[in-house]
Structure 1
């Protein structure tokens, strides 16, 4: 697997902002399609064989959904029909080039901010079918990390998310489905207030943390079961934070001192591998070999040991976005354009028999001046 994430949230990688600023619909569609084809051509030259395409960046969709309104990233207006089906277009173009496409979903995010203009935009979908979940199920909505999110503790929320995955896998020939690391996504200044939900559903749990982990577990089980029933050939994977747990908290954890998915996102990612719920796991190991708090090799080898006795494949998420960026704590990213660090990481991935590939975060960084040397190296290593 030589993969790359292609983010649509806030138009990070696609579609181009210029396309949305044109008032000519035909020109907008043409610009968006041409931009995507150019990206796929470039990825093909680079030797990329799998694209993780963000089809649900928030509470909106990049396909004609019966559950979610159209994403505003396509037209500038939430709920506005873009005049074509971006997911189908991506699938057609990627498959024509012999590349696989995994539909990447952010399960719980409803919006990227809580500004008055965002609230107005969400409320204006009330007359649409479908309207935003913000309008349809206001009681599911919470604020966390300065965003509107769905409350993961509500059973109907998990069923709703599962129905969205089901819609995609039954209507499109996607090769896989991936959730990113946003399960419980809080920030110190914007915690998720799920006290009432905990009071309603969490009474049999020893702690709120255990109850939250149970909720995340329920979602993964539900989605895994649904995919296997409806489209058994579609791969289901998660891309969690690189650290499951630190050894200081749990003897089974890694020799690291980083933010841990188990304790911060309430995601017991190791358990999902052990239980066979996932076809693959793609931990985001976004640190160099020299970062003592979370060494690349320590974490990659720890994950390789986790998947070893299972049938779950392991792909490592690599921090292309850090390559060439000056950093006091991680100077290795700028030494010789970041090429020696990148080479060490890819060499480890290739030589460990339990690591099945690499995914780069993210596509937009292939075109940045600071990654030029690294991209040339990748083309020589992977390209045709």
Structure 2
């Protein structure tokens, strides 16, 4: 009986340690460009300095342990990239429609800098805004000037009317253009569909509703159908253009209350609901497989009275429909009431849930500026070890072949591990990067442990620290493709007694 208890205790210890530092986990950050929240800094209209700022930003997140970055490239029917039919964003130059000076394509540059550091780059688009306020100065080719009939006014902003088929097609074509022309890893939307309810404000879409509704269809159902058609069309467009580009959405953190939907609602009773108030049926999108992941914005604390973090994280975990859930965390609360430990507790809860596969922090600034030492906590504890982004097997399930001719040799006073690319895989995808593990003889499942990874990169050689050259130590090389499918290991290079001598 004691032996059985020991085995069970060991099992839970191993799984507890794995949860503390998982080998597979998306670690992301949102970079908001609207109103120059994160990048570029306000009134920095010099593109050389903008590039320097972004290099500092992405390098900071890389050093923290992030492996994905979500950058806002469309704020209000504008563009922070060159190959767009919409005008240049004023956040780049101070004047909408004016190109950066000296000229560059910010999106190409940001993708290049992110990929150099082994980070995924996701292009984040705001869908519904055409203007930020009634005082916005618009260029002559802005959507509001070309198609004012596509918009309605709401709380001082111009908002796209998703009930108009041409509007949905227009947005879909924007996405197609991005996917086709840029080497992005994903398309990402936030929580803005129909606008958030504001007392006294009305959505002026009655004429559109009367024109396009189905018989006996309520306005709420019609609005949800409009968004559903948009999401489905975009999902199909992404996959038909580049099948391995990811498509995900970060919705408001509550789908529906259990008090409204007893069967499927979350254990909440008050406040906004994305289904009823924003007309965003996230449950349908993930159940239908239109999105590759959801990243719900759980911006409430663990002791929140109405929307406690653990209850909502568990609900999203249980409604994942075999798609990954990445939790959106409110790093911005570090600037007000939250302590460092609140985010640490949320991360521990998330890691205990089997369908929660990562975290994304809003926003970049609070992390990079190390507010309340959260960046330090991530880099030295929570993200101390390298993590691979979980694969998406419905997009790509074929791993590269194992590296060939793996060899460890001593050259003068240093040890060098070298390898070559293996044969072509079945889908002909080349390795995107390699992993090197340092393992021990008789170690259980050594390639499942993040702490054993000593290298992640595209080089095909690694100088081994002399302190690691010990009898019984081995070095393993694997190849990983762009969607993070990992090969079987190449020939293990073991250190034997005569080598140490």
**TM-score, normalised on structure 2?**
0.69
Query: Which structure features the higher share of strand residues?
Result: 2
Secondary structure of 1:293's match?
coil
Q: Deviations over 1:198-231 (max 9, x none)?
A: 1111242431101000011010000001011111
Is the CA contact 1:145–1:189 (under 8 Å) kept in the aligned structure 2?
no
Shift of residue 297 of structure 1? Answer: 0.6
> Which residue does 1:303 correspond to in 2?
316
Is the CA contact 2:43–2:94 (under 8 Å) kept in the aligned structure 1?
no
Shift of residue 66 of structure 1? Answer: 4.0
Cα separation, partners in 2 of 1:8 and 1:324, compared to 1, 3 Å: closer
**TM-score, normalised on structure 1?**
0.90
Shift of residue 303 of structure 1? Answer: 0.5
Secondary structure of 1:60's match?
coil
Mapping for residues 60-139 of structure 1, pairs under 5 Å: 60-82=78-100, 83-115=103-135, 118=136, 121-122=137-138, 125-126=139-140, 131-139=141-149
Is the CA contact 1:279–1:311 (under 8 Å) kept in the aligned structure 2?
no
> Which residue does 2:478 correspond to in 1?
none
Q: How many angstroms apart in 2 are the aligned matches of 1:311 and 1:165?
A: 25
Q: Does 1:181 align with 2:191?
A: yes
Structure 1: gaps (5+ residues)? 21-27, 327-332
Cα separation, partners in 2 of 1:33 and 1:281, compared to 1, 3 Å: same
Cα separation, partners in 2 of 1:69 and 1:18, compared to 1, 3 Å: closer
Q: How many angstroms apart in 2 are the aligned matches of 1:379 and 1:372?
A: 14
Relative to structure 2, which stretch is displaced further, 175-184 or 63-72?
Answer: 63-72
Q: Does 1:49 align with 2:50?
A: no
Secondary structure of 2:163's match?
coil
Counterpart pick for 1:254 among 259, 266, 283: 266
> Which residue does 1:378 correspond to in 2?
378
Q: Does 1:315 align with 2:326?
A: yes
> Which residue does 2:15 correspond to in 1?
none
Secondary structure of 1:254's match?
coil
> Which residue does 1:3 correspond to in 2?
28
Q: How many angstroms apart in 2 are the aligned matches of 1:247 and 1:196?
A: 33
Shift of residue 145 of structure 1? Answer: 3.5
Q: How many angstroms apart in 2 are the aligned matches of 1:165 and 1:300?
A: 30
The runs of at least 4 aligned residues of structure 1 exceeding 3 Å deviation read none
Q: Deviations over 1:127-168 (max 9, x none)?
A: xxxx11111111001112421111111010000000000000
Secondary structure of 1:359's match?
strand
Secondary structure of 2:171's match?
helix
Corresponding pairs, count:
354
> Which residue does 1:330 correspond to in 2?
none
Q: How many angstroms apart in 2 are the aligned matches of 1:37 and 1:205?
A: 55
Cα separation, partners in 2 of 1:218 and 1:36, compared to 1, 3 Å: same
Shift of residue 289 of structure 1? Answer: 1.1
Cα separation, partners in 2 of 1:14 and 1:175, compared to 1, 3 Å: same
Secondary structure of 1:294's match?
coil
Query: Which structure features the higher share of helix residues?
Result: 1
Is the CA contact 1:205–1:211 (under 8 Å) kept in the aligned structure 2?
no
Shift of residue 366 of structure 1? Answer: 2.3
> Which residue does 1:282 correspond to in 2?
295
> Which residue does 1:222 correspond to in 2?
233
Is the CA contact 1:245–1:262 (under 8 Å) kept in the aligned structure 2?
yes
> Which residue does 2:54 correspond to in 1?
36
Q: Does 1:267 align with 2:280?
A: yes
Q: How many angstroms apart in 2 are the aligned matches of 1:315 and 1:203?
A: 35
Secondary structure of 2:306's match?
helix
Relative to structure 2, which stretch is displaced further, 222-231 or 186-195?
Answer: 186-195
> Which residue does 1:23 correspond to in 2?
none
Q: Deviations over 1:266-302 (max 9, x none)?
A: 0000111111111000000001111121110101110
Is the CA contact 1:316–1:357 (under 8 Å) kept in the aligned structure 2?
yes
Shift of residue 191 of structure 1? Answer: 2.4
Q: Does 1:365 align with 2:376?
A: no
Q: How many angstroms apart in 1 are the aligned matches of 2:353 and 2:72?
A: 29
Counterpart pick for 1:213 among 208, 224, 238: 224
Q: How many angstroms apart in 1 are the aligned matches of 2:282 and 2:228?
A: 9
Is the CA contact 1:44–1:383 (under 8 Å) kept in the aligned structure 2?
no
Greater radius of gyration (CA): 2
Secondary structure of 1:292's match?
coil
Mapping for residues 183-198 of structure 1, pairs under 5 Å: 183-186=193-196, 187-198=198-209
Q: How many angstroms apart in 2 are the aligned matches of 1:263 and 1:59?
A: 26
> Which residue does 1:24 correspond to in 2?
none
